[in-house]
Chain A
Amino acid sequence: MAEATWDGAWYNPYAPPIFASPAPPPAPLPLPAFPQDRPWWMAPPVLPAAGATGQNQPSASHLLPSGHPWGSAPLIFPPAPADAAGQGAPAQPFFPTPKPPPLADSVNTLPATPEHRAPDPVRSDYQFNKLGDAYAPAGMTDIGPPLIGDGGQLFPGTAWGRKAADIGSQLAYRYIHGLLTLPQRAIEAAQQSAEHDFGPGPAAISDSDPPWQDPLIPVAVEIALATMGGAGAVPARANTRRAGLTGARQGAAEAGTATKATGTTAVDAAASAAGRGAASSGLPAPFDGELAARQLLGTTRTPAGRSIMFHAADRMVNAPKGRIPMSAEDVDQVLDGATRIAKRSYHPQGNTLMIENSNMPGRPRVVVDEATGQRVITVINPRQQAK
Chain B
Amino acid sequence: MSIAEIERLVQRFVSGADTSISVVHEIEAVLDDWFPDDDYVQETVEMLAMYRPGGGEFLFDKAEISQRLIQTLKHLSA
For chain A, residues 102 to 136, give those with C-beta under 8 angstroms from any C-beta of chain B: none
Chain B contact surface mostly: helix
Closest chain A CB from B59 CB (angstroms): 6
Complex Cα spacing A320 to B39, Å: 22
Closest chain A CB from B57 CB (angstroms): 6
Complex Cα spacing A378 to B58, Å: 9
Contact A343 B58, beta carbon cutoff 8 Å? no
Complex Cα spacing A72 to B30, Å: 123
With A289-B56, A311-B56, A369-B58 as contacts: A320 and B46 at CB distance below 8 Å: no
Closest chain B CB from A335 CB (angstroms): 16
For chain A, residues 315 to 359, give those with C-beta under 8 angstroms from any C-beta of chain B: 315, 320-323, 342-343, 345, 347, 349-350, 352, 354
Contact A289 B32, beta carbon cutoff 8 Å? no
Contact B45 A380, beta carbon cutoff 8 Å? yes
Contact B22 A321, beta carbon cutoff 8 Å? yes
Number of B positions contacting A (CB below 8 A): 22
B32 CB contacts on chain A under 8 angstroms: 322, 380, 382
Contact B46 A321, beta carbon cutoff 8 Å? no
B43 CB contacts on chain A under 8 angstroms: 343, 345
Complex Cα spacing A380 to B22, Å: 15
Complex Cα spacing A352 to B43, Å: 11
A-B contact count (CB 8 A): 63
Closest chain A CB from B10 CB (angstroms): 16
A289 CB contacts on chain B under 8 angstroms: 56-57
Complex Cα spacing A365 to B25, Å: 15
Complex Cα spacing A369 to B42, Å: 18
For chain B, residues 13 to 71, give those with C-beta under 8 angstroms from any C-beta of chain A: 21-22, 25-26, 28-30, 32-33, 39, 42-43, 45-47, 49-50, 52, 56-59
Closest chain A CB from B60 CB (angstroms): 8
Contact B42 A343, beta carbon cutoff 8 Å? yes
Contact B29 A345, beta carbon cutoff 8 Å? no
Contact A311 B22, beta carbon cutoff 8 Å? no
Closest chain B CB from A284 CB (angstroms): 13
Contacts A309-B57, A380-B32 supplied; 14 other A-B pairs, CB < 8 Å: A289-B56, A311-B50, A311-B52, A311-B56, A320-B21, A320-B22, A320-B26, A322-B30, A345-B46, A352-B50, A352-B58, A367-B49, A377-B58, A382-B32
Q: What residues of chain B have their CB less than 8 Å away from a CB belonging to chain A?
A: 21-22, 25-26, 28-30, 32-33, 39, 42-43, 45-47, 49-50, 52, 56-59
Sorted from nearest, which 7 A-B pairs have the closest CB atoms? A322-B29, A320-B25, A377-B58, A378-B49, A378-B50, A380-B49, A321-B25
Q: What residues of chain A have their CB less than 8 Å away from a CB belonging to chain B?
A: 289, 309-311, 315, 320-323, 342-343, 345, 347, 349-350, 352, 354, 365, 367, 369, 375, 377-380, 382
17 A-B contacts, Cβ less than 8 Å apart? A309-B57, A310-B56, A320-B29, A321-B26, A322-B25, A322-B32, A322-B33, A343-B43, A345-B46, A345-B47, A350-B58, A352-B46, A352-B58, A354-B46, A367-B49, A377-B59, A380-B49
